[in-house]
Structure 1
Amino acid sequence: MLVLAACDRQQAIIERCDADPGRALLRLQLPTRPDPQTYRDWTWVECPIRLPSAVPAAAVLHLPTLRVTGPQVQADMAYTHVVPKARATGHSVALGVDWGLNTLLSAGALRLGKDGRIAALGAGGQFRAAGVLAKQHRLRRHSERLHAKVDQYARLVGGRPDEQLRAKQEVLAGEIRHVSARRQNLNDALAWAAARWTVDQAIAARATVIYLEDLRSMEAKGMGHSLNTRLSQQVRGKISDRMRHLAAEHGIAVVTVPARNTSKHCPQCLTPLRHRKAPDKRTVAGWKWAICPNTGCGWQGDRDHGAWRRIAARGLTHQAKTVTDKTTGAMVIRTVVDELEASAVVTPSTTGSRRDRSKTGPTRHRTSRPAPRRRGAPSPTRPQGQAGKRPEGHAPTDRRLPRAAHRHQGVNTISTPTTAGHRPRGAALGAGFHLHAHASPPRWETIPETPSDSGSLS
């Protein structure tokens, strides 16, 4: 690895190509012999670099770090470009983000009007990573078993020179390093995906601030062994850092707000909610559904959706209390003011509301035997003899059937050509209803009546 940022400007220069902004030219002064003595032992080498599409055209390039990977030399390029400055106050559209255990993120946007009323912009969304979290849980359990085996081998060795046990212990140690690397890569990918999804939601809603639930409220204690372990293994800290990094590029502020009673109170009237099982998930453990007992409000929904509404509304009403943490440099709202919290309610939307489909009376009786559809083609004629096709209608079969309707009727079907090798007998004669239906013949044509081979007796 060669860190060119530590080099002097007289030894390394990088600049963009004027003709193609997606290319850059790196000029290095390298020695021509292992022990250079004078300036003649150095020469300039030009290295063309193709820039990725993520690098803006107006960005200022910095000297990269060169790494040799097989037959190629890769350059870790750093660049600087101007972005809008994120402001702490003056926000009218905000994105609220709530942390969850099974549903990692729940987010939605709110708008603060000039009259001080807060309205929801849509129903919000959820970032579900159940598959990734399950794989993370399996890797964690596998790592715990490997650590337990290594400890057992260490107790068995006990300082004795046992080469066989030490070889097994080294193999398990290498497997532990491999599993740890997989867990780290999985956590990094999950953090970047969750942060990218959140910032995209803010950009789509044209929000200028993202209000996050305080991570200190998600302490892994007092919730049981399994739940404490799942909470401690979450990558919320990484997600917050990646979110701030991606949001800063678009001038979006990321502010942390207290999480007190965000899932407990109603977002529309601040009444304590009653939690139940979800109506469509009766067998799933937990109390995911929240119902407001206030008859004048009547809000109900997923508790995570109510939580992000409370978080965004609290951030919009307390945005004057936003401060910058001196240790981390992150924006944070530390305290909740009761007077401001009383106005942090979401006004229920009246436009575009769905029609009330509640049942108000008995269900209309529907017969279990609906009337048969009318035939789209005329009934076939009764052939000569005992065998024949049954005419339309529900006629008894224990007696001789009457003659069917006269078949010399008008043309009421569409003529379609038949392919070679598939020409049904009925369609060839123009009788009966078939997928390849033909037009009924005119009334002045005579149709030869041939006995059917269906085998039924009239």
Structure 2
Amino acid sequence: MSGKLRLAEGEAARTACARALLRTGVDEETGEALSQAVLAQRVGWCADLVAGMVAALIGEHWNTVDVQVLAAGVDAGGRRLPSHAWMALRRLGWAVAPPGGVRVNDRVVRMAQEQAGRALRSVKWRADVTAGVLAAWPADPRQRTPAEWDQVRSSIPGGEYLPSNVIKGRTRQAATFAKVNGRLPVDVFELEGVPRIGRMLLLAACDRQQATIERSDTDPAKALLRLQLPTRPDPRTYRDWTWVECPIRLPSTVPASAVLHLPALRITDGTVRADMAYTHAVPKARATGHTVAVGVDWGLNTLLSAGALRLGKDGRITALGAGGQFRAAGVLAKQHRLRRLSERLHAKADHYQRLLGGRPDEQLSAKHEVLAGEIRHVSARRSNLNDALAWAAARWTVDQAIAARASVIYLEDLRSMEAKGMGHSLNTRLSQQVRGKITDRMRHLAAEHGIAVVTVPAHNTSKHCPQCLTPLQHRKAPDRPTTPGWKWAICPNQSCRWQGDRD
């Protein structure tokens, strides 16, 4: 950590993360300047050592008994386990060592135990959901009866609050396993198998003997990361580890007063990326006492519709302006074009795989490799487009709240929405919207300004008149008489006669 955060009255601590790039380094022992490629190579050697130990730890304890012991939160003596995963694993005696002949210090082992402990802790929720689904297996996995829904929710801890699409997803996954193997899986560990181990260094599990980070005194936008890295892929002695200085240009989103934490390092496309964690002071969001709010509704091409409201002292609600809409039809159209392209590429790749049938064929194998590379490229484009759309939509919503001086955003909760009866194409478009990403980024940005984000049930949110609460009548929009749909809403109350966009 760099410095100590001080909070004033009405402030709260907020921890966030920003991405940075390590472009160069300096070996302190030799004074040699390390290029970006050499730095990535040395970080990669260390990450490979950590990944090997993580794989050994997870493979040894990837079972129901050990995961439940870790999730119980107490050791054999009844003492509470530490919150840090590496400390909890050591308390339980779950040790790991590097390959024979390789010498690493204890902090490198800590990073491996921290990564493995986080993975083992995170699987507990999936194990409970899968166990509940298997225990209440329906007669027809494609369609549960109301009684079967009640049964499966009661068999899952907190199942009454779990979105139905999560249960359906686990059911489809188990049904696919049963179709291939002729039986249901025993648990999630048989259903999923040991997870893939990412090449990364969780420096947060280390202390000053392995890594340090300090912000520059002259330029708050710069920081210096020092860490020990191996000089060879299989270090034999401690002399094969040297200190390397890595200057970091901090993103503009990191405040000058923020406290820096040791980052997580990843190797991406031959470069070292640092996930810079930092803590800074933000206004504390209120849980009650809101008088100005922004309500947000989801749409298809009009992705978001928002309107500001004020609650008066007499209990009357007044609309502030006519509201606004975040239109993303062009971006969504490109998103769906990329989705269709990805589906065609996957279909071609599967066809080549069937043609190969395990037989050696250089020509078909070369074509299959080309398709696999194109699939990865299209997937990256889709991911980047979704991220950009999510950030833009979240930023627009928070800006609406700031402009209206609202202290809370009410967001329609559509996590469990499943599009049905609207045609294959429209169902897919509705199901593939990045609502979860937008909600997460909205909470992230709103926290900077002390604005609370509350999700509300979506049922009947577009049913009642916003002025007199009379059930609305929906029809075609008057400016688009040839476009089918129910975009326009009219209040049938003769003393009100409000009308407008239903969102």
Structure 1 residue 245: deviation in Å? 1.5
Deviation readout 1:379-407 (Å, 9 max, x if unpaired):
xxxxxxxxxxxxxxxxxxxxxxxxxxxxx
Q: Which residue of 1 aligns with 2:195?
A: none
- The amino acid of 2:282's aligned partner reads V
Q: Which residue of 2 aligns with 1:100?
A: 299
Distance 2:399 2:420 in 1: 33
**Mapped pair 1:205 → 2:412:** no
Distance 1:3 1:153 in 2: 39
* Unpaired segments ≥5 residues, structure 2: 1-42, 44-200
Q: Which residue of 1 aligns with 2:342?
A: 143
**Mapped pair 1:21 → 2:235:** no
Distance 1:45 1:160 in 2: 48
Q: Which residue of 2 aligns with 1:229?
A: 428
* Unpaired segments ≥5 residues, structure 1: 305-458
In the comparison of the two structures, how many residue pairs are matched? 303
Answer with 1 or 2: which has the greater Rg.
1
Q: In structure 1, the residue corresponding to 2:427 is in which secondary structure?
A: helix
Q: Which moved more, 1:286-295 or 1:3-12?
A: 3-12
Distance 2:471 2:235 in 1: 78
Distance 1:155 1:212 in 2: 46
Distance 1:44 1:143 in 2: 44
Kindly indicate which of the two structures has a greater share of residues assigned to helix: 2
Distance 2:471 2:454 in 1: 26
Q: Which residue of 2 aligns with 1:303?
A: 502
Deviation readout 1:395-428 (Å, 9 max, x if unpaired):
xxxxxxxxxxxxxxxxxxxxxxxxxxxxxxxxxx
Question: For 2:391, which of 192, 197, 200 is the aligned residue?
Answer: 192
Structure 1 residue 204: deviation in Å? 1.3
Cα gap change, 1:43/1:214 in structure 2, threshold over 3 Å: closer, same or farther? closer
- The amino acid of 2:455's aligned partner reads T
TM score, norm. by length of structure 1? 0.60
Q: Which residue of 2 aligns with 1:413?
A: none
Determine if contact 2:467/2:496 at 8 Å carries over to the other structure: yes
Q: Which residue of 2 aligns with 1:85?
A: 284
**Mapped pair 1:260 → 2:459:** yes
Structure 1 residue 73: deviation in Å? 6.1
Q: In structure 2, the residue corresponding to 1:81 is in which secondary structure?
A: strand
Question: For 2:482, which of 283, 289, 305 is the aligned residue?
Answer: 283
Deviation readout 1:234-289 (Å, 9 max, x if unpaired):
11111111111211222211111112222222111122222222222222232211
Structure 1 residue 43: deviation in Å? 6.4
Alignment root-mean-square deviation, CA:
2.8
Q: In structure 2, the residue corresponding to 1:56 is in which secondary structure?
A: coil
Distance 1:67 1:59 in 2: 23
Deviation readout 1:115-146 (Å, 9 max, x if unpaired):
10100111111111111100111111112222
- The amino acid of 1:263's aligned partner reads S
Determine if contact 2:229/2:244 at 8 Å carries over to the other structure: yes
Determine if contact 1:217/1:259 at 8 Å carries over to the other structure: no
Q: In structure 1, the residue corresponding to 2:467 is in which secondary structure?
A: coil
Identity %: 85
Structure 1 residue 94: deviation in Å? 0.7
Q: Which residue of 2 aligns with 1:57?
A: 256
Cα gap change, 1:72/1:190 in structure 2, threshold over 3 Å: closer, same or farther? closer
Structure 1 residue 218: deviation in Å? 3.0
Distance 2:202 2:260 in 1: 15
Structure 1 residue 113: deviation in Å? 0.8
Question: For 2:371, which of 169, 172, 181 is the aligned residue?
Answer: 172
Determine if contact 1:110/1:121 at 8 Å carries over to the other structure: yes
Cα gap change, 1:43/1:255 in structure 2, threshold over 3 Å: closer, same or farther? same
Structure 1 residue 67: deviation in Å? 5.8
Distance 1:38 1:157 in 2: 49
Aligned 1:4-403 pairs, distance under 5 A: 4-28=203-227, 46-66=245-265, 75-216=274-415, 218-304=417-503
Greater RCO (Cα-Cα under 8 Å, separation 6 or more): 2
Determine if contact 1:143/1:179 at 8 Å carries over to the other structure: yes
Cα gap change, 1:167/1:35 in structure 2, threshold over 3 Å: closer, same or farther? closer
Cα gap change, 1:60/1:128 in structure 2, threshold over 3 Å: closer, same or farther? same
TM score, norm. by length of structure 2? 0.55
